[in-house]
Amino acid sequence: MTNRSTSENTTSVAVLAPRKDPMRSFFNFFGVKTLRLNNDLGAMAIFFFRSFFMIFRLKAIPDIIQQIYFIGAKSVQIVVLVAFFTGMVLGLQLYFVLVKFGSVGVLGTAIALTLIREMGPVLAAIMITARAGSAMTAEIGIQRISEQIDALSTMRIDPLGYLISPRIAAAIISFPILTTFFDLIGIIGAWFSGCVLLGVNSGTYFYRVVASTQMDDIMGGYYKSIVFGLLVVTICCFQGYFTHMRTDSFGAKSVSLSTTSAVVISCVMILVSDYVVTSLIV
């Protein structure tokens, strides 16, 4: 008797509960996500433009120099190291592909174009993201949760002008320079594996490097590195600056999650924007 009664109650509750419309749920889910993405992109655009226009102040120059040192000079070592081994691996792989077709003479061309047009800007940007981008997010995030950014506002110092603008300016300057380092060291790395270890003629290699590289290729690499620089700095600074707005965590945990998000989003956006920029400049 008791069981029957329970069963009846359950049935009546099931009947009274509103039925979920799958289509409605689908659009509701994606609608919310789209609106949130739209809001975030809008906020990030405002964040970027407000910071960008504050670069052009005399008082920003010392801070820009300091950030160039941090983002640029201090990333040289890791960029050079990664570039050398990337070049060596490329030299090795391409040698064994080209030797099948008896075309090892074009190793220099293949290396130069691959590095200058594609791998140099992308890998340099990813390396800078890992080294400097994560540090930026963590530093700004800690400044946010310890009220240092609020303190700036109370001192009538614009936090965007003080914290973000110098980093954007430094990225615009540092990313192309580090990309140049990456390209040059990568070419040397490929020469080492291809010519020194595998016996390709050095003169042929460097002749092909110089002869096949056009100014458009170099400029294309620079355009990409500037776009990557702006994206990386904006994403990393945005994540740190609004670390207190996270709904999934608070305090130190929110800084750690913001740093992870910043690195992941930056790396994804480097690859996405790489395709977009390549399709525009090719």
Partner 1 sequence: MEKPREPLIEFKAVSKTFGTRNILNRIDFSIYEGEVTTLIGLSGTGKSVTLKHIIGMLKPDEGQILFRGQPIDKMSKKQWNEYIGQISYMFQNNALFDSMTVYENVAMPLKYTTKLKKKEIEARAMARIEQTELIEVADKYPSEISGGMQKRAALARALVTDPSIVLFDEPTTGQDPIRKNAILSMVAEYQKRFGFTALMISHEIPDVYFISNRILALYDRKIVFQGDPEDFEALDHPFRQELISSLESLGEELTGLYSKRHFKVRYQTDLSQRQPDATYAAAVFTLDNIDAISEHLGHDATQQIIRSLGSYINKHFGAVGGFSSRQTINEYATVLPYSDLDEAHRIMDDFTRDFQAHGIQGIEMQRGEKGEDEGCIEFSVLAGLAQGKPQIEIESVMEFARFNQKEISRFKC
Instruction: Work out whether 147 is an interface residue with partner 1 (CB under 8 A).
Output: yes
Q: How far, in Å, CA of 47 to CA of 70, rounded? A: 22
Q: Shortest approach of partner 1 to residue 131 CB, angstroms?
A: 18
Q: Shortest approach of partner 1 to residue 161 CB, angstroms?
A: 9
SS3 content of the chain, % helix, strand, coil (to 5): 90, 0, 10
Applying CB under 8 A, which of residues 148, 201, 212, 273 lies at the interface with partner 1?
148
Q: Which is nearer to partner 1, 13 or 58 (CB)?
A: 58
Q: Which is nearer to partner 1, 66 or 93 (CB)?
A: 66
Q: Shortest approach of partner 1 to residue 149 CB, angstroms?
A: 9
DSSP-derived secondary structure letter, 168:
H
Q: Shortest approach of partner 1 to residue 214 CB, angstroms?
A: 44
Q: Shortest approach of partner 1 to residue 64 CB, angstroms?
A: 14
Closest CA to 132 of 71, 187, 179: 71
Find the part of the chain contacting partner 1 (CB under 8 A) among 7-15, 76-84, 89-97, 139-147.
139-147
Q: Which is nearer to partner 1, 32 or 151 (CB)?
A: 151
| Distances in whole angstroms, Cα of residue 135 to Cα of each of 26, 71, 151, 224 | 38, 10, 21, 22
Q: Shortest approach of partner 1 to residue 157 CB, angstroms?
A: 5
Answer for the pair 75, 174: CB distance below 8 angstroms, yes or no.
Answer: yes
Contact string 23-62 vs partner 1 (x = CB under 8 A)? ------------------------------------x---
Q: Which is nearer to partner 1, 99 or 157 (CB)?
A: 157
Instruction: Work out whether 150 is an interface residue with partner 1 (CB under 8 A).
Output: yes
Q: Which is nearer to partner 1, 139 or 183 (CB)?
A: 139
Answer for the pair 122, 270: CB distance below 8 angstroms, yes or no.
Answer: yes
Q: Which is nearer to partner 1, 14 or 58 (CB)?
A: 58
Q: How far, in Å, CA of 48 to CA of 231, rounded? A: 9
Instruction: Work out whether 153 is an interface residue with partner 1 (CB under 8 A).
Output: yes
Closest CA to 159 of 132, 174, 140, 136: 140
Q: 167-205: b or e for each residue (b if 16 or more CB lie within 10 Å)?
A: bbbbbbbbbbbbbbbbbbbbbebbbbbbbeeeebeeeeb
Instruction: Work out whether 146 is an interface residue with partner 1 (CB under 8 A).
Output: yes
Applying CB under 8 A, which of residues 81, 157, 245, 276 lies at the interface with partner 1?
157
Closest CA to 148 of 162, 135, 134: 162
Answer for the pair 234, 48: CB distance below 8 angstroms, yes or no.
Answer: yes
Find the part of the chain contacting partner 1 (CB under 8 A) among 120-128, 149-157, 183-191, 257-265.
149-157
Answer for the pair 202, 111: CB distance below 8 angstroms, yes or no.
Answer: no
Answer for the pair 114, 243: CB distance below 8 angstroms, yes or no.
Answer: no
Interaction site with partner 1 (CB under 8 A): 59, 139, 143, 146-148, 150-151, 153-157, 162
